[in-house]
Chains A and B, each alone.
Chain A
Amino acid sequence: MSSAKIDFAQVRFLVIDPHPLSADLLKDVLQMLGAIGVVKCATTERAIELLRQEPFDIVITELETAPMNGFEFVHFIRTSSNSPDRLLPVIMLTARSEREYVAEARDQGITEFLAKPFTVDALYKRLISVIARPRQFVDAGTYFGPDRRRRPEPFQGPDRRESAPRQSVTA
């Protein structure tokens, strides 16, 4: 019996990175995996324009971007009434990989985080996670984004999930 495969030719990527070589390298890697639809841009302003013009399946963004940085960009995507798609998968690929940045990225609603310099294997695993194992979203008032509880760990805080109604709407 054959196993599941990912056809990257079906996935449209938007890469946001102000450094040309970095953006080119990522585009090369995605194309090496089989992606055909890869668009890159240097600013978050252009990225939002592009997202309004055409559909993308996955955004891969640096943190150090302008005029919005990567956190502000994700915050806009997740919470703004002008967001082109609040559920859009966003992978943060950044050279700011210290713990506080990872935590902030998670709290802003990033789908996956990957530190630069990256390996193809690590990037591939993030892509598989986004494509083949999509996570439910949580709207908790102060947070809107992918469910941050991935592992079944005991949670010490108040449980506001127990009787929360499950919805199948798209935001």
Chain B
Amino acid sequence: MTGGGRRARFISARQDLKRKAVNYQKGLELALTPDLVSGFETVVNRSRDRFVASVAPLLAKLRALQTAALATPEAAAAFIVETQAVSYAIKGLGGTLGYPLATAAAKSLNDFVHHRDGLDAKGLDVIRVHVDALYLILAQPQAEDDPTQRAVIDGLFQLTEKYG
């Protein structure tokens, strides 16, 4: 045996949660059936309207902020912070709620603004294009394999790659 580090100490797995939640009478099977999974996903997808209703005002706020974003460094910083928060939220939620393209577009936008602390006219244009695309995506039926929509997403990632 090599190495002079201290020996690892092991603590047995705690069983209290297993004892109180696992049983043979009541609850869900350990392995969900495909039908049950599909039923759950359908229920989750019913939150789609809530998603659109919640995201639309966030995008509207970004549009409002972007008009003055280059006026002062403070305005630019506030706009970037807001863009980071909105893009992160959409990135995390879209796919779960049946909007995988919203997640893709938001990921591209979040990649662009993550760690960014300044903004120029070109950067503002990149954000504006992403916000416009998100509006369109939320207004359209989702079809991940739609070549036009896919091309839009690819274009957004190219923008982020080029100017990010």
Contact = CB atoms under 8 A, between A and B. Distances in A.
A8 interface: yes
Contacts of B21: 6-8, 10-11, 57, 131-132
Contacts of B137: none
A132 B93 contact: no
A78 B91 CA distance: 29
Interface string B54-92: 100000000000000000000000000000000011011
Given A19-B89, A118-B96, A120-B41, A3 B30 contact: yes
A42 interface: no
B43 A135 contact: no
Interface residues of B, number: 49
A116 B92 contact: yes
B23 A7 contact: yes
Q: List 6 A-B pairs, minimum CB-CB distance, nearest first.
A: A158-B3, A117-B95, A95-B92, A116-B92, A7-B27, A5-B27
B11 A132 contact: no
27 contacts: A4-B24, A5-B29, A6-B22, A10-B20, A10-B21, A19-B93, A22-B93, A24-B50, A33-B40, A87-B11, A116-B95, A117-B95, A119-B37, A130-B17, A131-B17, A131-B21, A136-B11, A136-B13, A137-B10, A137-B11, A140-B5, A140-B8, A141-B6, A160-B3, A165-B10, A168-B11, A170-B14
Contacts of B94: 117
A116 B21 CA distance: 26
A147 B2 CA distance: 21
Interface in A106-127: 116-121, 124
B14 A94 contact: no
A131 B44 CA distance: 23
Interface of B: 1-3, 5-15, 17-18, 20-30, 32, 37, 40-41, 43-44, 47, 50-51, 54, 88-89, 91-97, 100, 103, 110
Interface in A69-99: 87, 89, 94-95
Interface string A119-163: 111001000101110111111110000010000000001111111
Contacts of B37: 119-121, 124
B40 A117 contact: no
